[in-house]
Chain A
């Protein structure tokens, strides 16, 4: 294993070396940073030209200059200076966390949503849902991200902020949203026309009811779930996860999942106390660990044999319920957050990565603020890779479902749930890891544009500056970071691939 990783890392280092060499020369021949200073005869400018030539080694031809750059990196991890004289590494360390936050969340959302929709699309091949999803995926492929971003700003930020001022949903909107929701659920149903219409009616009706209640109670002004709604949702989650993970026939799993919901209800108020008095990233992380430990304990209590799937179910249920409780807490923060002077009732921002006017020290304010600032860029960025994941996971699942081992699994009498979740779905995930890598480079490119549109001060901003200033050191610094990220994603995918697929033997282990 170590030998394998070592060999992969060597190969990736060679790739990094080669691509940085190509980019360096390409950038060096495509523009002369002293161009603006050349024509002048002013002695002051001449001196400036000389000093610039000296600090940037412009008298050395580009291929040789590349090795000077490389030598500096190897000797002291020194990326050189930008043209206005600060160290590239300082600019980079400020920009990297911003960009990673953006990319990571968008990637995760795109993967989860894309795989889920792709799989449903494949299981309902040639249904209305499938055709609809195919069209949506192609549409998203064809959307220019900078164009979508402007639309998002207008309709999800400005219009939504206007809506928050009055909080009642217009009847027209209720009807439109209910029809959309009805169409969505009805498109999933195959069967007689009457059945499809029935599903449409029920889905649209429930949706309209919920929206009307939310509108009448002015829920959006002071959102929250409260322990009772959370408990109801938790029981639903418990059933859902048990169904997907082990099947409802496994009584021990069902009981432990339900037990997790009850524990969440009992611990609701103590939890709020902890949230209010010791809110922080570490607290949330600690609570996650406690939840997982609880899940394991519950599974141990209910299941005497074959504990692993039961524990998995309980832990997953606990995690999702924990997320619900966290969302509830954020919703409770909503009203005071809205009332602060910095927000002034218009919470969804269209620009920058944080609100600098916000009073510091309140963890929940900062948390909600970060999430809200991530809201639009993340949607814009994940839309495009989402389309790729839908198409790819659909194609892979269809291919897997035609394999002989699926036929075998059905022939020996396994339930359809087991066939899909255990035999088909897991095998779909294996080739999916390869596309994640390819997608990662694309999402970095998307991030450059997204940051520009939303005015984030991340890698994209540095990149834009580097190109328009012809700043080679800065450009190479940005490239070094993005390429390293892409290459690391590549390595991770290789390792996951070999871990998931037992047919791939890692030579050397």
Chain B
């Protein structure tokens, strides 16, 4: 009897956790489920907020001009200003030390030169902000360009199959074999001086290979599903089937791998700039700053720390957002049901029985 009771309890525990998982998706559309799951992913939500704050902070700091629109940044220095190098308050022989402080009893706050000054007195905070702006723009441009090309190529080859598929996939294979740093350097060395937008556009032209393979695989399975047959029977054109029926179902795969492309892009851009094949002086990039000041690490470490921290902050948050999205879009994913919830459910079930 006892054994039976225990068995039943085990059984009911399993049913309960299934219940919770089912109940929370009851009556919700796919996008609502995804949104809910994403909002519940703590790491991803924190990362989203942090990334948003970083982007606002970084882009509002310096003067910007887009066409006729001029925006006046809140930071007092620009990247070309050369104020006098601060010496008082710094260790002897080390001019331009940072004023940023988290000490609540001392000089709390940003101060005059929060990240210090470089050799010729330029404000390092302004330089890092400009570098972070460059990296973030490159990240988004590569993500958009790579995402668009990858989706198109993957969709076409997965939907039409046959020789179109073979040609496109062989082409993808060709590009996949070339390490991205090699292709990036070849492009970057020539196009780096055209400005960061062009560099990002060109890099985006080669960043789509992994995505296109995934999208192709998704299209290959989706096109065999009943709803596609139904659409065909109803007389929908190929274009309509691709855009209205299959693409919305493949959007999870696309979004997740675009975030991966983006986090890879920021590391690629900084690495290329570090090697000297990406963003070139007088423009500023986080990778370039690190490469310029890596030798001063022992004497003036702030010149080295801050650009690196910004690279890691951006890449890490993007990676976590990608992870949250993957969990949210994965239909097999079941949320972990906490002990508290299980206990509460069991209580309810027991009351219902007794």
Contacts and interface: CB of A to CB of B under 8 A. Distances in A.
Contacts of A23: 178, 182-183, 186
B271 A145 contact: yes
Contacts of A15: 170, 173-174, 177
Given A138-B319, A144-B290, A479 B274 contact: no
Nearest to A487: B177
A150 B297 contact: yes
Contact of A139 (B176, B186, B312, B336): B312
Interface string A440-464: 0110110011001000000000011
Contacts of B290: 144, 146-147, 150
Nearest to B311: A144
Contacts of B175: 19, 22
A184 interface: no
Interface stretch (B23-31, B70-78, B187-195, B236-244): B187-195
B231 interface: no
Contacts of B159: none
B38 interface: no
Interface in A1-58: 14-16, 18-19, 21-23, 26-27, 30-31
A502 B320 CA distance: 37
A445 B177 contact: no
A449 B271 contact: yes
Contact of B275 (A19, A143, A452): A452
Contact of A142 (B177, B190, B276, B315): B315
A19 B178 contact: yes
B158 interface: no
A205 B298 CA distance: 34
Contacts of A21: 174
A18 B182 CA distance: 16
Contacts of B124: none
Contacts of B176: 441
Given A23-B183, A30-B190, A146 B177 contact: no
A94 interface: no
A143 B191 CA distance: 25
A482 B175 CA distance: 14
A18 B180 CA distance: 16
A259 B287 CA distance: 55
B178 A483 contact: yes
Contacts of A449: 181, 271, 274-275
A141 interface: yes
Among A15, A146, A158, residue most surrounded by chain B Cβ atoms (within 10 Å): A146
Classify chain B's interface size: 35 or more
Contacts of A448: 179, 181-182, 275
Among A16, A19, A139, A464, residue most surrounded by chain B Cβ atoms (within 10 Å): A19
Contact of A154 (B191, B274, B298): B298
Interface string A451-489: 010000000000110011000000100110011001100
A143 B267 CA distance: 8
B208 interface: no
A22 B171 CA distance: 10
Interface string B304-316: 1000100110011
A479 B175 CA distance: 12
Contacts of B304: 147, 150
A141 B265 CA distance: 12
Contacts of B212: none
A126 interface: yes
A375 to B, nearest CB: 19
Given A138-B316, A441-B179, A144 B274 contact: yes
A19 B171 CA distance: 8
B291 interface: yes
11 contacts: A21-B174, A26-B187, A30-B190, A142-B263, A142-B315, A144-B290, A144-B311, A144-B312, A147-B312, A154-B297, A445-B179
Interface of B: 170-171, 173-183, 185-187, 189-191, 263, 267, 270-271, 274-277, 287, 290-291, 294, 297-298, 304, 308, 311-312, 315-316, 319-320, 323, 336
Given A31-B190, A142-B315, 16 more contacts: A15-B174, A26-B186, A138-B316, A138-B320, A141-B263, A154-B298, A444-B179, A449-B275, A467-B185, A467-B186, A467-B189, A467-B277, A468-B276, A483-B177, A486-B179, A487-B177
By Cβ-Cβ distance, the 4 closest A-B pairs, closest first, are: A142-B315, A445-B181, A18-B174, A30-B190
